[in-house]
């Protein structure tokens, strides 16, 4: 088990912070791996809704990465059932989102209004599953995984909020009819991705 594979806890925490930054900038899950595109294109029309959806993704991604790490390393690996990871991860993500929705609905109506209404969209967001699978493939420890999940979420949120800001300004510009809507959004996403390539090399 690789709970603390190399050295002390403090170096683990440092690694988690670095991984988190890498997930936000150099390996942004949306702009480098193009995961979670459907809600990115659909819900990036307004900054306010983009912030709500983004925050929900950060929350769900962080929590499900941790939960799935436990399920993978503590249940599947000891029983040699790794091939079940896809089914198990999806079940856990879906159940967690449902659970979260119920809790928010009950205890925090304001948070439910801000985040809760986006939760059903997130269950099937491939970025969430993507982050979990990267964490398994790269063999991160629990602490590093937590940082990675949080970083992936923040990176995704940053990308969608930036896109929403651009699209709000786009309303004023003259775009050829055939390019309006999702088409220009995808082109912009491509240009943003190119810009993010500039971050490569910031972190080794």
Partner 1 sequence: MAELFISVLVISGIAAGLALLLVLSEKTFQNYGPCKIVINDKKELTVEGGKSLLASLKAEKIFLPSACGGRGTCGVCKCKVLDGAGPLLPTETPFLNPQEQKDNIRLSCQVKVKKGLSIEIPAALFDIRLYQARFAEATNLTYDTKRFRFQLVEPATMNFTAGHYVQIACPVYKKGIEEVSRAYSIASDPKDNRFIDLIVRRVPNGICTTWMFDYLKAGDAVELVGPYGEFRLSDTQSPMVFIAGGSGMAPFVSILHQMRNVGSTRKAEYFFGGNGVRDLYLHEQMAEFEKNLSAFKFVPVVCKPSPEDNWQGQTGLVTDAVRKNFTDLSGHEGYLCGSPGMIDASIKVLIGLGMSEKNIYYDKFS
Alpha carbons 133 and 143: distance in angstroms, whole number? 16
Tokens 């910031």 belong to 202
- The reply on whether position 42 binds partner 1 by CB under 8 A is no
Size of residue set near partner 1 by CB under 8 A: 21
98 lines the binding site for partner 1 (CB under 8 A): yes
Least Å from the CB of residue 76 to partner 1: 8
Q: Which of 22, 23, 92, 127 binds partner 1 (CB under 8 A)?
A: 92
- In angstroms, what CA-CA distances link 172 with 165, 167, 187? 12, 9, 17
Identify the DSSP state of 72: I
Q: How far is the CB of 99 from partner 1 (least distance, A)?
A: 6
Q: Binding pattern to partner 1, positions 153-172, x when CB under 8 A?
A: --------------------
From 79, 169, 172, 178, residue interacting with partner 1 (rule: CB under 8 A): 79
Assess contact for 150 and 20: CB atoms under 8 A.
Answer: yes
Check residue 70 for interaction with partner 1 (CB under 8 A). no
Q: Give the 3-state DSSP-derived string for 112-178, with helices as H, strands as E and coil as C.
A: HHHCHHHHHHHCCCHHHHHHHHHHHHCCCCHHHHHHHHHHHHHHHHHHHHHHHHHHHHHCCCCCCHH
* Residue 103 binds to partner 1 (criterion: CB under 8 A): yes
Q: Which of residues 115-144 bind partner 1 (CB under 8 A)?
A: 117
Q: Where along the sequence are the contacts to partner 1 (CB under 8 A)?
A: 71, 75, 79-81, 84, 87-88, 91-92, 95, 98-99, 102-103, 105-106, 109-110, 113, 117
């Amino acid at each position: 088990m690789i709970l603390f594979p190399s050295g002390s806890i403090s170096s683990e925490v440092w690694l988690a912070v670095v991984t988190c930054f890498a997930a936000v900038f150099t390996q942004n899950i949306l702009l480098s791996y193009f995961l979670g595109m459907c809600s990115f294109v659909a819900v990036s029309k307004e900054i306010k809704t983009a912030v709500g959806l983004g925050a929900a993704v950060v929350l769900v991604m962080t929590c499900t990465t941790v939960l799935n790490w436990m399920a993978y390393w503590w249940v599947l690996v000891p029983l040699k059932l790794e091939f079940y990871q896809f089914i198990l991860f999806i079940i856990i993500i879906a159940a967690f989102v449902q659970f979260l929705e119920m809790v928010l609905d009950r205890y925090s109506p304001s948070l439910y209004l801000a985040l809760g209404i986006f939760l059903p969209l997130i269950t099937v967001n491939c970025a969430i599953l993507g982050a979990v699978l990267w964490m398994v493939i790269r063999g991160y420890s629990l602490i590093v995984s937590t940082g990675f999940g949080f970083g992936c979420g923040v990176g995704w949120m940053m990308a969608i909020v930036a896109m929403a800001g651009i699209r709000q300004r786009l309303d004023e510009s003259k775009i050829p009819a055939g390019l309006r809507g999702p088409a220009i959004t995808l082109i912009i996403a491509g240009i943003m991705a190119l810009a993010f390539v500039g971050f490569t090399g910031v972190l080794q």
